[in-house]
């Protein structure tokens, strides 16, 4: 008989030494498995988390601690084993005991009615058939094999008969149970479903890849397939994949319910995610109504679908109907219109947006995609053109998802003609011929003629008249649009030459209201230099930055003549903001508008240089966050600047104080961590009052 002690022997002393086990340890590990598996089920399958993240982390850490101390208790189905296997050199093949069949397709209502008629004819039925309806997820079909409730193998569909063993990668998908919940599952159970990448995860992944100059995925299906076929499971684990089950493959040792929908509900109880849009309907009319409803919701779903799968719900009927070729007679996929198609890129034009962003737009050979005929697609920016390596004359793949602007997702390089032409980005604005600027570190190129560019004039005038800028009372957005549309103004300089009769003749205007507007425009001529600078709409120059520029330069002429080094000496002005300022004042169109504004009489009080050493908050840096009841954050920043403080946008070790209103978030937390002085609104008002600033609220 071996001297090796049993795992369940009681230790001789009151405490266990390393490697020894007792029933209490085993019970704790089993309990941790149960709690963590249940938490994963609630979080990833039901989307209804019940366990706080901190508590989950503590339980997970405790389980890892015990598994390190007692390696005998480390099992493949442990929640700690989602990732950890070594990379593979290749994927082994798996033969499916029950073939993974494909589905026949229906493309219109008549196809669906023909399918339903064939079902009724074969079953010799006159009553309506009950169908289980599920969205057809646009991902990768996989098979999951469980023995005694533990995941032992996962495989791709492959050709339906033979797939690839992807068990290590599937273990990393958090919505797939490594061990089934409950205790009433069969000894052998094969579950089939779809691994997919949700839209948000796909967009976030591509955004990160774009920032790192890495290869982008064309669509979520392509992303899911590429993620599952990684030889290193750690790479798969880093991808935001989910799993949704949709059918039974094989079952041994148990009888399951006699309807497809009931089987899926049972799977849900054992820990699998099933689609919340799944529904059982009666007859072909119910199927068509379900299809129409899901088509309406399609673009709002969190995942891509390319159609609806309809299955005869009754398992006995399924068995009677059987199979034809490689597809079941009892199921069909009613496909949505394709969202990707191939077409020819005929030309590229450049459009100017309301903020000056210049966007290349592809002119295409018209193609029917996503339910509509598409002849234009966005190319985003020059970086995207270079990443795609796209030329005029190329054959390209277009994607359109619902209301999303069609875009080129890839180029069919082997179809490139010899006379394909490179796409050249314009150096001057196609609308106003102002210089096009692209600040280092930014992807977007912009027109610098914001004051005169027709594409931007409405937004520029609205900003100029706003309360924090020139504060022209009565000049709202709709009136600005009327004035521009009627050709009465082309820039905000023209506001000061408006005639009473012209304004009074506008829709919903009368002579009195027109007179009030003209008087408000006249009053706006008396302003401050900070408000004037902000009103010009220089990119990245907000209220606080405008005030900092005024505090530093005191005079508009000095600011206009400042070079990069001089601008960088200003508080809160970094290289990007400085380049925006230089570019703005260097544009002749902008110079002409500013001269015109000064010539018609816009003035502000002369600013005398103050001895900053006398200001109470000189040398201190403050941050304002949250919502203040008595004032806006911009006004709070202005008050702090009047007292000599520098106002920053983020909290750091150099921050002197934080003014925190309601719903202050991460900045408040960071300030607390750094032991920075925090002023609530009452304390802030008291500080202002102490130094002679009385805010009326």
> Of 233 and 562, which is predicted with more confidence?
562
Tokens of 316: 């006995």
- pLDDT tens-digit series, residues 303-348: 988 899 999 999 999 999 998 767 899 999 998 876 778 899 999 9
Instruction: Give the pLDDT confidence score for residue 283 in this predicted structure.
Output: 95
Tokens of 377: 């697609």
Across the range 256-283, mean pLDDT stands at: 94
Distances (CA, A) of 34 to 29, 81, 274: 9, 14, 21
Catalytic residue (choose from 124, 136, 512, 531): 136
- pLDDT tens-digit series, residues 612-648: 567 788 888 899 988 888 888 878 888 888 888 888 8
- The model's confidence at residue 1, banded by pLDDT at 50, 70 and 90, is very low
Instruction: Give the pLDDT confidence score for residue 289 in this predicted structure.
Output: 95
> Of 285 and 100, which is predicted with more confidence?
285
Question: At residue 177, does pLDDT exceed 50?
Answer: yes
- pLDDT tens-digit series, residues 30-65: 888 888 888 777 765 665 666 665 676 678 778 878
Instruction: Give the pLDDT confidence score for residue 654 in this predicted structure.
Output: 86
- Report the distance separating Cα 470 and Cα 534, nearest Å: 9
Note whether 623 and 674 are within 8 A (CB): no
- pLDDT tens-digit series, residues 520-535: 999 999 999 999 999 9
Note whether 287 and 333 are within 8 A (CB): no
Q: Which residue has the tokens 């000189």?
A: 618
| % residues pLDDT > 70 (the chain) | 91
Domains of the chain from N-terminus onward = 23-81 (1.10.287.610), 104-335 (3.30.470.30), 342-415 (2.40.50.140), 457-599 (1.10.150.20), 612-690 (3.40.50.10190)
- pLDDT tens-digit series, residues 652-669: 888 999 999 887 878 888
- DSSP codes, 249-281: EEEESS---SBHHHHHHHHHHTT----TT-EEE
Instruction: Give the pLDDT confidence score for residue 313 in this predicted structure.
Output: 96
Q: Of the candidates 190, 192, 193, which has an alpha carbon nearest to the alpha carbon of residue 147?
A: 190
- pLDDT tens-digit series, residues 346-375: 999 998 876 788 889 999 999 887 667 889
Q: Of the candidates 453, 485, 480, 451, which has an alpha carbon nearest to the alpha carbon of residue 465?
A: 480
- pLDDT tens-digit series, residues 450-474: 777 878 888 889 899 998 899 999 8
Tokens of 298: 């399609």
Instruction: Give the pLDDT confidence score for residue 547 in this predicted structure.
Output: 86
Beta bridge partners of 132: 280, 311
Question: At residue 175, does pLDDT exceed 50?
Answer: yes
3-state secondary structure of 361: strand
Across the range 432-448, mean pLDDT stands at: 80
Is 136 assigned a catalytic role? yes
Q: Which of 131-145, 181-195, 391-405 shows the lowest mean pLDDT across its residues?
A: 391-405
> Of 12 and 663, which is predicted with more confidence?
663
Note whether 272 and 249 are within 8 A (CB): no
Question: At residue 128, does pLDDT exceed 90?
Answer: yes
- The model's confidence at residue 697, banded by pLDDT at 50, 70 and 90, is low
- Report the distance separating Cα 395 and Cα 319, nearest Å: 46
Q: Which of 84-93, 578-587, 597-606, 684-693 shows the lowest mean pLDDT across its residues?
A: 84-93
3-state secondary structure of 247: strand
The H or E element that residue 294 is part of is helix 283-297
Across the range 3-17, mean pLDDT stands at: 40
Q: Of the candidates 405, 312, 319, which has an alpha carbon nearest to the alpha carbon of residue 362?
A: 405
Note whether 423 and 385 are within 8 A (CB): yes
- Report the distance separating Cα 95 and Cα 652, nearest Å: 59
Residue 577 buriedness (CB in 10 A; 0-12 / 13-18 / 19+): buried
Across the range 103-117, mean pLDDT stands at: 90
Instruction: Give the pLDDT confidence score for residue 50 in this predicted structure.
Output: 66
The pTM of the full predicted model, rounded to 2 decimals, is 0.51
Question: At residue 562, does pLDDT exceed 60?
Answer: yes
- pLDDT tens-digit series, residues 386-430: 888 999 999 998 887 655 678 888 898 888 999 999 999 898 998
- Report the distance separating Cα 240 and Cα 143, nearest Å: 19
């Amino acid at each position: 008989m071996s001297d090796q002690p049993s795992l369940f022997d009681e230790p001789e002393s009151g405490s266990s030494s390393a490697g020894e086990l007792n029933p209490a340890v085993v019970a704790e590990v089993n309990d941790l498995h149960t709690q963590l598996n249940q938490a994963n089920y609630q979080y990833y399958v039901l989307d209804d988390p019940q366990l706080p993240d901190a508590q989950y982390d503590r339980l997970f850490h405790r389980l890892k601690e015990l598994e390190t101390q007692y390696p005998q208790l480390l099992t493949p189905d442990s929640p700690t084993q989602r990732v950890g296997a070594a990379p593979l050199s290749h994927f082994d093949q798996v033969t499916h005991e029950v073939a993974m069949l494909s589905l026949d397709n229906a493309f219109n209502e008549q196809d669906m009615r023909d399918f339903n008629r064939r079902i009724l004819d074969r079953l010799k039925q006159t009553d309506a058939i009950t169908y289980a309806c599920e969205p057809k997820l646009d991902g990768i079909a996989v098979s999951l094999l469980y023995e005694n409730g533990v995941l032992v193998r996962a495989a791709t569909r492959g050709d339906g008969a033979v797939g690839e063993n992807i068990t290590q990668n599937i273990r990393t998908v958090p919505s797939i149970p490594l061990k089934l919940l409950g205790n009433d599952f069969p000894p052998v159970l094969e579950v089939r479903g779809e691994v997919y990448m949700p839209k948000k995860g796909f967009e976030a992944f591509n955004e990160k890849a774009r920032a790192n100059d890495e290869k982008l995925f064309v669509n979520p299906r392509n992303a899911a397939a590429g993620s599952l076929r990684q030889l290193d499971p750690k790479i798969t684990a880093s991808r935001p994949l989910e799993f949704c089950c949709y059918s039974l493959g094989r079952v041994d040792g148990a009888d399951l319910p006699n309807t497809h929908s009931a089987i899926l509900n049972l799977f849900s109880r054992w820990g699998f995610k099933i689609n919340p849009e799944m529904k059982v309907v009666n007859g072909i009319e119910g199927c068509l109504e379900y299809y129409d409803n899901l088509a309406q919701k399609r673009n709002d779903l969190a995942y891509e679908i390319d159609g609806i799968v309809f299955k005869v719900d009754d398992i006995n009927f399924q068995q009677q109907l059987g199979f034809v070729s490689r597809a079941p007679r009892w199921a069909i996929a009613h496909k949505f219109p394709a969202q990707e198609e191939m077409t020819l890129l005929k030309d590229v034009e450049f459009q100017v947006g309301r903020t000056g962003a210049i966007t290349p737009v592809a002119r295409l050979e018209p193609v029917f995609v996503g339910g509509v005929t598409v002849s234009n697609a966005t190319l985003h920016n020059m970086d995207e053109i270079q990443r795609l390596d796209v030329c005029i004359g190329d054959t390209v793949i277009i994607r359109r998802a619902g209301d999303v602007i069609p875009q080129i997702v890839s180029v069919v390089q082997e179809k490139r003609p010899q006379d394909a032409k490179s796409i050249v980005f314009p150096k001057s604005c196609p609308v106003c011929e102002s210089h096009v600027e692209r600040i280092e570190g930014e992807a977007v190129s912009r027109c610098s003629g914001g004051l005169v560019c027709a594409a931007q004039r409405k937004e520029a005038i609205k900003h100029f008249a706003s309360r924090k800028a020139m504060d022209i009372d009565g000049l709202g957005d709709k009136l600005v649009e009327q004035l521009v549309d009627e050709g009465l103004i082309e820039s905000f300089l023209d506001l000061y030459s408006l005639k009473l009769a012209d304004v009074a003749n506008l829709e919903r205007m009368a002579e009195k209201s027109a007179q009030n507007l003209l008087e408000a425009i006249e009053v706006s001529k008396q302003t401050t230099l900070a408000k004037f600078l902000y009103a010009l709409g220089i990119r990245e120059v907000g209220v606080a930055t405008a005030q900092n520029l005024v505090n530093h330069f005191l005079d508009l002429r000095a600011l206009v003549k400042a070079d990069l080094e001089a601008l960088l000496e200003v508080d809160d002005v970094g290289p990007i903001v400085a380049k925006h300022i230089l570019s703005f004042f260097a544009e002749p169109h902008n110079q002409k508008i500013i001269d015109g504004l000064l010539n018609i009489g816009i003035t502000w009080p002369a600013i005398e240089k103050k001895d900053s050493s006398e200001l109470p908050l000189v040398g201190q840096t403050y941050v304002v966050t949250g919502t203040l009841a008595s004032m806006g954050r911009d006004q709070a920043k202005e008050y702090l600047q009047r007292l000599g403080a520098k106002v920053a946008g983020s909290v750091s070790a150099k921050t002197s104080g934080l003014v925190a209103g309601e719903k202050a978030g991460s900045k408040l937390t960071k300030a607390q961590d750094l032991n920075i002085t925090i002023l609530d609104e009452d304390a802030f008002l008291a500080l202002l009052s102490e130094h002679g600033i009385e805010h009326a609220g």
